[in-house]
A and B are shown apart, each in its own frame.
Chain A
C-alpha cells in the first residue's frame, strides 16, 4: 500500500478553526450589518465627526461592540486566508512563511485597533 505524501497527524486546530468560522460568521452577520446601518444609513458620513465618536464611546457598550467586531472580523478574515494557503501552498516551508505573515498582520491590526478603542478618552479633547 503506497504511503500518502503530505498526510498529517490529527490536529484539533482545524476543528476549532472550522467551528470558529461558523460562530464568528453568524455573529459578524449581525455586528457588521448593524454597524453599516448606524454608520452609513441612519447617519450620513458628513455628520460622523469627533463628537459623534466621543458620544458613542462615552459608555462601554459601543466600545465592547466595536472591539468584538474588530477581533472577530480580523480573525475570521485572516483564518480564511490561512485556509487558502492550506489549499494552494504545498511546501511546508512556504506555508510556515505565509502563516507567519498572516499572524504578524493579525497581531498588528488587533493591537492598533484595540489600543484605539480601549484608550480613547472622549473628555480629553471634547470641548476644545
Chain B
C-alpha cells in the first residue's frame, strides 16, 4: 500500500515557522509507522529527525503525536492508521528539531518524586521479601517506560507546564505502594502541592495515550486517596 505521511517539520536554525513535509512511502499494511519514518529518513530526506532506539515498544523513545493521538511509532501499525498519516512532535515541550522534543523538564519532574527505593530500617540479612499480593498492589505502575505520551496528552499540563504530570505521579505511585519502601511520606508531601496531584482533572487522556495500558488516572486517584487518608 502507498501511505502519505504528513510530517510537522521544524529546524530552528533555518525555519522561522514549522512547516508540513509530505512524503509518500510504499509499505506493507503490517509495517509499523516507524518503518515508514525510517524509509523517509533513509531514502527520501536524511534531514528528518526523530528519536527511536529499541524499536520494539520497550525503550519509550519514539512517542509522538500520530493522527492526533499520542502513541509509539514502533507500536502502531500502518493498517490501523489509514493511507494518510499525520505525524507531529509531542505537545507541551520545546521542539529541538522536527519530531524531537526537549524532554529534560519531563525527566526533572520524574527525578523530583525520588523514583528509587528509600529505606531507613537496617537491611535484612538476605533480601527484602514481598508477598505476591503486596507486589500486585503496584504492578500496573511498574510498566511505565517514561515515553512521555501521558504527560504530553494532558490538558492540565498543556495549560500549566509547572504541573508535575501523570508520568511522575505514576512513578511515585510505584514506590508509595511498594511494601518494601519507606519513603511514601516524602513522596506524598512532594505531590501534595498546587502543582502536584491536585492539578489532575481526571480527563483520562493519559489512560488513552499510555502505550503500556497503564490506568494512569486510577493511579493518580489512589495517590489522592492516600493523601486524604493521611490527613483524616
Contact = CB atoms under 8 A, between A and B. Distances in A.
B193 A10 contact: yes
B109 interface: yes
Contact of B194 (A1, A2, A14): A14
Contacts of B122: none
Interface in A4-49: 4-12, 14-15, 17-19
B160 A88 contact: yes
B156 A87 contact: yes
A22 B201 CA distance: 12
B192 A14 contact: yes
A10 B227 CA distance: 11
A8 B227 CA distance: 17
B199 A86 contact: yes
A4 B109 contact: yes
Contact of A15 (B108, B156, B160, B227): B227
A87 B159 contact: yes
B194 A8 contact: yes
Contact residues on B (Cβ < 8 Å of other chain), bracket: 20 to 34
A124 interface: no
A11 B228 contact: no
Interface of A: 1-2, 4-12, 14-15, 17-19, 83, 86-88, 90
Interface of B: 104-105, 108-109, 111-112, 156, 159-160, 162, 164, 189-190, 192-196, 198-199, 201, 224, 227-228, 231
24 contacts: A4-B108, A4-B112, A4-B162, A4-B195, A5-B162, A7-B162, A7-B193, A8-B193, A8-B194, A8-B195, A10-B192, A11-B193, A11-B194, A12-B192, A12-B231, A14-B192, A14-B196, A14-B198, A15-B192, A15-B198, A15-B228, A18-B198, A87-B159, A88-B159
